[in-house]
Amino acid sequence: MLTSKTLKQFSRWSAFLPLAYVSTVSSLEEPRFAYKLRKFGSTAYMARVEEMESGNCLIDGRNRCLSHCTNTPSVLLRHQKIFGSARGASNFSRWHYTSLSIDRYTGNDKDKILRNIPGYVKIVEVGPRDGLQNEKEIVPTSVKVELIKKLVASGLPVVEATSFVSPKWVPQLADANDVMEAIRNVEGARFPVLTPNLKGFEAAVGAGAKEVAIFASASEAFSKSNINCSIEDSLSRYREVAFAARKLSIPVRGYISCVVGCPVEGLVCPTKVAYVAKELYGMGCSEISLGDTIGVGTPGTVVPMLEAVMDVVPIENLAVHFHDTYGQSLSNILVSLQMGIATVDSSVSGLGGCPYAKGASGNVATEDVVYMLDGLGVITNVNLGKLMLAGNYICKHLGRQSGSKTAIALSRVTTHASKL
């Protein structure tokens, strides 16, 4: 039977209970570790399960560590978290975890490992365009618009809205004009759109686009299969687009596909990627996104590619775009961050897959990227709870489970907590 003393103790520590130690024990049992959670430093932010469920799980800043818990040394806390203890081993499987950063490195050790990781990373959400373009069933315009609004509400600063390509090639995005009209008054984010040529650019501008993107390939064979022209011909097209955009003061983003591998040619030489990147930068692209279109890259192939591109394009003008076909996207993003990249493309719930690249699975899930960056203490200004709501919304419409491991895991936590 619960005593008034037990209830009083529970209310005192539960207000600060982090996801890192959400216990699934019976509501009639007070966890033995409760005393450890009663006091946190003023800069620590510990998100509760109920806050995440309601979309209020905003986790940012660089000082969110469990080492702020003054009653337990950080080293002991870390080992208990990862391995458990002899006395508490029976409770290990009943605890759930978050990516809240643990201050496990100090001084030179931390500098060696994390010194080049940016304090803030801009996430470019490509779900509404790159994520949906390969869906066989046409997604209603109203659903696309609502998805965009939910993504903006999560704090994402850039949401790629649609593409002004021929409906013949990508019928899913035939409603580009309608989407742009519906989000015309949505504030809080930028909405670049893809434009394959001058005609597409003019249509985008007519629909109210304030930013555009162009896409080239580092693979000759893929360029011909994807946009029906050689690399040089595609660059000539894009110079026309870039020139027209410059006259209207419209920013242009450049995409490069197949930066480490091609479904036709195989391994792509880093010098080819660097050449295309240099050309795009020279014609006026303010940002160049380097895409591993078929997801074959590993840190071993991504690093030399980035080194080659960074020799010809300033690092602040570069972004990375990884697909998770072989489960390498997060490791590739991490090594990119360590090299100084500060812009990452991702897709809510891991939606996506290039229609012209056989075997290419979805983009890296935005939820997984945000979770990892939170764990590194990197600011994104993205509310993970609200982001999950956006992912749940589109997955429910598509009739499938989320492709985000983070979303799946945290959904299980909140579902279980709601039953307690």
State the Cα–Cα distance between residues 391 and 351, nearest whole angstrom.
9
DSSP assignment, residue 385? Answer: H
> What are the beta bridge partners of residue 344?
123, 320
- List helix spans (H) across 251-349: 270-282, 299-310, 329-338
Burial label for 9, CB within 10 Å (0-12, 13-18, 19+), is middle
Q: Which of 65, 69, 258, 354 is catalytic?
A: 354
Which residues make beta-bridge pairs with 23?
Answer: 95
To which residue do tokens 């299980």 refer? 412
Tell me the two tokens of residue 5.
Answer: 């003393």
Burial 204-215 (b: 16+ CB within 10 A, else e): bbebebebbbbb
Token pair of 372, please? 């990892």
Please state, in angstroms and as integers, the Cα–Cα distance from residue 396 to each residue in 50, 266, 390, 393, following that order. Answer: 21, 36, 10, 5
Q: Please give the Cα distance from 245 to 198 (Å, whole number).
A: 10
Annotated active-site residue 354? The verdict is yes
Q: Which residues are catalytic?
A: 354
